[in-house]
Amino acid sequence: MADINTIINQYKSVSGGLIEAYHAIQREYNYIPEEAITEAARVFSIPVAEAYGVATFYSYFKIGKRGRYVIRLCESSPCHIAGAAEVVAALEKELGIKMGETTPDGKFTLEYTECVGQCQSTPVITINSQPVRDVTADKIPGILAQLQ
């Protein structure tokens, strides 16, 4: 993994560099470590509170450790009607965690998300931002097996 300082310093002279640095850090780590916020504040010469505010303002950014695979389930009405609750139950059963949690081995995190724009193929999950369409509870073991 690339060093946090190296990533942030690549963006210190770029317009909108703080947000770009956070995107790069999240791509590398799958979340924004707390120490990245402190380092970003130092590099961009802003208060830590401001750096933290930027990281928490955007729902895409996640502070704190997450799994290698972040599985997000769309909770919009079309997905809900198409059986999202059954998919959630299957994910929680297979992984042994609840929505919003990460497996003890750090491999999987379950989260809800808003519409991902795939309403023609509901319910939809995303795995590290890649959509998986027409998901059913019966398909969950096979989907997870592909990630093992």
Domains and CATH numbers, the chain: 4-57 (no CATH), 69-145 (3.40.30.10)
Strand partners, 70: 109
Q: How far is CA 30 from CA 25, 45, 65, in A?
A: 8, 25, 8
pLDDT tens sequence across 65-107:
888 899 999 888 888 888 899 999 999 999 999 999 999 999 9
Write out the two tokens for 62. 């996640």
Q: 113 to each of 30, 65, 73, 131, how far by Cα in Å?
A: 16, 18, 6, 12
pTM of the model: 0.75
- Which range, of 36-40, 46-50, 76-80, averages the lowest pLDDT? 76-80
Q: Which burial class, exposed, middle or buried, applies to 61 when counting CB atoms under 10 A from its CB (0-12, 13-18, 19+)? A: middle
Residue 121 has pLDDT above 80, yes or no: yes
Any residues with CB less than 8 A from the CB of 135 and at least 6 apart, and which?
Answer: 87, 123, 124, 125, 143
Number of C-beta neighbours around residue 38 at 10 A: 14
Query: What's the mean pLDDT when you consider all of the chain?
Result: 92
Could you tell me the two tokens for 114?
């808003």
Q: Which of 140, 79, 136 has the alpha carbon at shortest distance from 113?
A: 79
